[in-house]
Chains A and B, each alone.
Chain A
Amino acid sequence: MSPSPTRLLVRDELIGFGARPAMSATSFMSLLESSIASTVAAVMIVVDIISERNRNVYTLLVIRPVRRETIIWAKVVAVFGCVTVACIVSILLGMVVDAVRGHAPSAASLYDTGQAIAQMTAVIAMATAAGALFGVLVRSILVAVILVLYIGQNVAVLPLVPSLFGLLPATFWWFILLSFALVAVMLWFAGRAFRRAQL
């Protein structure tokens, strides 16, 4: 009995994808992470903050002798940390797959991967901070998720704007610096808004 055409096609596609020389596993994982991780982080934190707030979880924290803003900042650090670590592990696994396939990383590719990880980390941090800000400002999960997806995700473009207008050189370090400055500003606003929140 001959195998089904679907099975044959799937097998061929898998072989073709794996054998494609243009994309290494490391590049593939980097691409995957940078596009998905920031969205995951932003949605996770915004849903977490709003649902916990609506269930009065923060009430029990706010009535204790702690600074209110640290409650939000702690959540940002946790979400950012977990998502970033998961992404880095995935990229490292991609490198292992490449090494097994005989493409040992060169010094130049390691440098590029390092830069990609740093940029990805900055984008995740910005998305998480934007998620925290919307989570504090909005009481509806649905509205907050829409805001995060349509506005929060575009925040990652802001550090590129000075370079696009020729105000700053388009270098990796300027991007990282501006990204984390933006993260600091968003977290300050989120903390301030939460400190003033009437729970």
Chain B
Amino acid sequence: MAAPLVEIRGLSKKYYGHPVLAGVSFDIAEGEVFGCIGPNGAGKTTTLKILAGLITEYQGQVQIAGADIARDRVRSHHLIGFLPQGVGFQAWRTVDSALDSLAELSGVAAEVRARRIPEMLERFDLLAARHKKVKELSGGMTQKLGLIQALLHEPRLLVLDEPLEGLDPPSRALLKDVIRERQRAGTTVLFSSHILSDVEDVADRVGILNAGAIATSGSLRELLVAFGRPLEIELAWAAAPADPAFVHELGAASERKPGVWRVRLPDGADPDAAVHAAIERTLAGGGRLRRIGLVEPELDELFASYLSRAAPVPAPIEDRGRHVA
């Protein structure tokens, strides 16, 4: 695992004596996409605002690339691109002027701005609106403008608070593409969302924030284990092997459709070893596989199960291996 770009330790924050964050701790590796989910009032926005340097009174330690954001604010601001919830621009500005001014404040050279701003506007389908006043834009267009300003200086860490809010489906798909592109370019992304399917689409790891603390974090598979949900693999045969009953040796198997089996693995079983064994046994038995893989749970399902649990919160996961499908 790469060295963490973001290290948050024991983050606590009170508003008028009421605790909003109570000892939030987590790391985000360089190049990782971390999705933060949680019910309303869980402290997602407060955490992101502290990271972005908007809230400066808190307990705990927050470091970005080794720089403590409380002590080295200027350096950490160079590293961050931030999209706040309900982004706002000076109403008198045009789209072009707003982006140019903000990029200049971030230290982007004039020739780079002249090239990059039209590129980004075109990417987000806003080029035709570049000379419009910001106040004339719709909510979705303003949100896209907010995303562009966060990306213009190519930050190492992109912090997005509800970035998909107010976007239509094509724009949401575009944003997810952009996040994946930025990840390939080495950018670390931390975002919050309540649209769980979108989090699931782009996040390498998911953190569930509840009652002011990270209840648990990890890949989907790790969350599955943490919540005591069974691991399952599904295999579909194009041609069944001579002895299809071997699937029962892997775990509790049930045939969902002819030739399509789902196997619930026993506790502690290695899912990769089970997939490997199923492939070997199928081929050895003269069968042909159409598909095989681990059944990933829907994040909505996991989240709902988490919220409805009366049992104590699972311990945070220390091993942060990436999930495989």
Residues of A within 8 A of B (CB): 52, 55-57, 59-66, 196, 198-199
Contacts and interface: CB of A to CB of B under 8 A. Distances in A.
Contacts of B78: 65
A65 to B, nearest CB: 4
Nearest to A53: B88
Interface stretch (B3-11, B79-87, B198-206, B228-236): B79-87
A61 B84 CA distance: 12
B63 interface: no
Interface residues of B, number: 26
10 contacts: A55-B88, A56-B84, A57-B89, A59-B84, A60-B84, A60-B149, A63-B80, A65-B105, A65-B107, A198-B57
A63 B53 contact: yes
A59 B86 CA distance: 10
A61 B74 CA distance: 12
A58 to B, nearest CB: 9
B86 A56 contact: yes
B88 A199 contact: no
A63 B88 contact: no
A63 B82 contact: yes
B78 to A, nearest CB: 5
Contacts of A57: 88-90
Interface string B148-188: 01000000000000000000000000000000000000000
Contacts of B117: none
B90 A52 contact: yes
Given A59-B87, A60-B84, A199-B55, 16 more contacts: A52-B90, A56-B86, A56-B87, A56-B88, A59-B84, A60-B87, A60-B88, A60-B146, A61-B102, A61-B105, A64-B102, A65-B74, A65-B78, A65-B106, A196-B56, A198-B54
Given A56-B88, A57-B88, A199-B49, A62 B54 contact: yes
Interface string B63-94: 00000000000110110101010111111000
A64 B49 contact: no
Contact of A60 (B53, B74, B89, B91): B89
Contacts of A56: 84, 86-88
A66 B105 contact: yes
A74 B53 CA distance: 21
A60 B49 CA distance: 12
Contacts of A62: 53-54
A56 to B, nearest CB: 4
B57 to A, nearest CB: 6
B322 to A, nearest CB: 29
Contacts of A60: 82, 84, 87-89, 102, 146, 149
Contacts of B91: 55
B52 interface: yes
Contacts of B52: 63
